[in-house]
Amino acid sequence: MQMILFTMNQQKYLISADSVEEVVDTMAITPVPLAPKWVKGLINLRGTVMTVIGLAELINVPSAADNKNILIMKQGEDRKGLLIEEVIEVVDINKEDIQLANAEDADYYDGVVAFSAIVANIVNVNHLIF
């Protein structure tokens, strides 16, 4: 299956390409006072006001100094932005290569993949953000 490989604070992560509509460069994010801490704010995506969630804050890992990309996540008609450090590439992952699929205790990890000297966690956060 196709997955998007990205970094966040030197760590590598994978996310299913099916849940991502597009990848955009980060832009001005208007903060929303009083919102939960993992809500980074609102962006203007081609005329639509969209909420942006910080992945680092959401899954409790240190945030990077410079976040360069926003993944536009989709679920049905709903869209939300997910702020990450930087997208590296789109990779094909075989199901068999996913290890520790059920070993993680956090429900936003779907396992670990090791390939060509890279180890990456598979994250799945749609159930948290929609």
Partner 1 sequence: MDDNSAYLSLFFEESDDNLQLLNDNILELENEPDNMDLVNEIFRAAHTLKGMSATMGYDVMTKLTHKMENVFDLFKSGKLKVNSDYISLIFRCLDRLSQLVEDLREEKDLTMDQIDDLLAELDQVETSVTGATKVVAPSTSTPDSALQATFANLENADIEVARQAMGDGYNAFSIAIRIDKDSVLKGPRVFLIMEKLEQEGDVLHVEPDTQELEDGNFETDFALVYLTKDDLAEVQNNIDSNSEIDQVIIQEFDPDHPPVSQAVKDQVTASQATTPKSVTTDTPNTTPSATPSEATAKPVTKVEPPKEEHHNNVPHQNARNQSIRVDLNRLDLFLNIVSELVVYRNQLEDASARNNNDDIRDSLEQVSRLTSELQDLVLKIRMQQVSVVFNRFPRMVRDLSRELGKEIDLEVIGEETELDKTVVSELSEPLIHLFRNSIDHGVEMPADREAKGKSRVGKIILSATQEGNKVLITVKDDGKGIDAKVIKASAERKGISTDGMTDDEIKNLVFHPGFSTAKEVTNISGRGVGLDAVVAKINELGGSFEMKSELNIGTTFIIKLPLTLSIIQALMVKIGTESFAMPLDIVERVVMIKKDEILTTGTREVYAFQNSLIPIIKTDRLLAMDESDQATRFAIIVNIDQKYYGILADQLIGQQEIVIKKIDPMLQKLNKYQGATILGNGSIALILDVNAICNEAKGSR
Contacts of range 35-44, beta carbons closer than 8 Å, 24 or more positions apart:
40/81, 40/83, 43/70, 43/81
Chain residues binding partner 1 by CB under 8 A are 28, 30-36, 39, 42-44, 46-49, 51, 80
Q: Toward partner 1, which CB reaches closer, 33 or 76? A: 33
Closest CA to 121 of 10, 35, 44: 10
Q: Toward partner 1, which CB reaches closer, 95 or 127? A: 127
Q: Residue type for 63, please?
A: S
Q: How far is the CB of 19 from partner 1 (least distance, A)?
A: 18
Q: How far is the CB of 79 from partner 1 (least distance, A)?
A: 10
Q: Toward partner 1, which CB reaches closer, 45 or 61? A: 45
Question: Count of CB atoms within 10 A of residue 15's CB?
Answer: 25
Q: Toward partner 1, which CB reaches closer, 7 or 51? A: 51
Exposure on the CB side of residue 10, measured as CA atoms within 13 A: 1
Q: How far is the CB of 44 from partner 1 (least distance, A)?
A: 5
Q: Are strands 11-16 and 118-123 parallel, antiparallel or unpaired?
A: parallel
Q: How far is the CB of 51 from partner 1 (least distance, A)?
A: 4
